[in-house]
Amino acid sequence: MRDIKLYERPITHTNRGDNSLTLNYWGVGCFHIKYKGLELITDPFISRPNFRQVALGKIQQDTIRIKNAFQNIEKVDFVLVGHGHYDHAMDIPFLGQLLPPSAKYIGSTSLHKQLMSFRLKQDYIMADSMLTKSIYNNDSTLRIIPFPSDHAPHVMGIHLFHGETKHRTSKSPTRASAWKDGTIFSFVIDFMSNHQIEKRIFIQTSSAKSTIEKEIQETFNERQPDIFILNAYTLRHAMKHHTCLIRQIGRSMIIICHWENFFRPWKKPIKPIKKWQIAKTLKKINQTFSDSLLMIPIQGSEINWP
């Protein structure tokens, strides 16, 4: 990792002004994004159950760390969930206690059924039926557009915890295997003013292959994203196969997520995931894209973008 330039600036929870786009990165696909008084959260996962707990035991939310991470979130409009695995969604139940009732979740029908046992007080929008359609907050200053995506196999062609929760759950899940992936999504996030896009973010938190299909290309023709937030595997696959995602990125900022070994507790030094040759991938990414356009953040880092 010595050859890889990592970004680390501790999260301060300070207000940097309405005009600053701030992304607090909490690891895996979890971002707390703020711009001009608007806020949203992606793939809530602050807890860090270890490998033994995930494989053989029970997992539980780290409520103290979740509360410390998400301070003063009374303005959050949306919580976006790329898919339903535990490392993207298991902290939603406690997070829901901190969110205002006006916030809305956007995710799969499968995850909605998975979460029913928690009796969340916020509304849930099932993105399966809203693909490529615009979802607005109350005053149309924040727009979300969900797009279909996929999930790569975990190891030896095996896709772990795959499938859908088909029936409403009556008991809260305690095992990682109970968090099924369901339908997979990527999202376009638009911060709006007078029906015009001020800032655009494309986010793909799942370990997916190329996500740029016809509908997304048409959306990008309307307005190129200012920032691409991409899973390390997604960008690795795009670079290896020369997919159109590379051409779409152009001169946009790239933020790499889901590259770290999230089985390691917060107190231990961060390390990359061993599978998919992540360290080698990050090194190649560093060599391919200029420093001014690339950011590989460490969990617990605050990113400020003009």
- When mean pLDDT is compared over 202-206, 274-278, 283-287, the highest value belongs to 202-206
CB burial of residue 296 (10 Å; 0-12, 13-18, 19+)? buried
Q: Is the pLDDT of residue 237 over 70?
A: yes
Measured CA to CA, the distance from residue 141 to residue 67 in angstroms comes to: 27
- The pLDDT, as a whole number, for residue 2 is 63
Instruction: Give the pLDDT confidence of 104-140 residue by residue, as tens digits.
Output: 999 999 999 999 999 999 999 999 999 999 999 999 9
Whether residue 189 contacts residue 144, with contact meaning beta carbons closer than 8 Å, is answered with yes
Return phi, psi of residue 54, to 5°: -70, -40
- pLDDT above 70 covers a percentage of the chain that reads 96
Instruction: Give the pLDDT confidence of 167-223 residue by residue, as tens digits.
Output: 888 888 889 999 999 999 999 999 999 999 999 999 999 988 777 777 888 899 889
Residue identified by tokens 């999202």 is 187
Q: What is the CATH number of domain 21-305?
A: 3.60.15.10
Query: Which tokens go with 83?
Result: 């898919």
- pLDDT above 90 covers a percentage of the chain that reads 62
- The pLDDT, as a whole number, for residue 17 is 59
Would you list the domain boundaries of the chain?
A: 21-305
Higher local confidence (pLDDT), 251 or 113:
113
Contacts of 215-218 spanning 24+ positions with Cβ under 8 A:
215/132, 215/147, 216/147, 216/186, 216/188, 216/248, 217/244, 217/248
244: confidence class by pLDDT, cuts 50, 70, 90: confident
- The pLDDT, as a whole number, for residue 167 is 84
Instruction: Please report which helix (H) or strand (E) contains residue 281, including its range.
Output: helix 278-288
Query: Which tokens go with 104?
Result: 């809305």
- The pLDDT, as a whole number, for residue 289 is 80
Q: Is the pLDDT of residue 74 over 70?
A: yes
Whether residue 233 contacts residue 257, with contact meaning beta carbons closer than 8 Å, is answered with no
Instruction: Give the pLDDT confidence of 25-69 residue by residue, as tens digits.
Output: 999 999 999 999 999 999 999 999 999 999 999 999 999 999 999
Mean pLDDT of the chain: 90
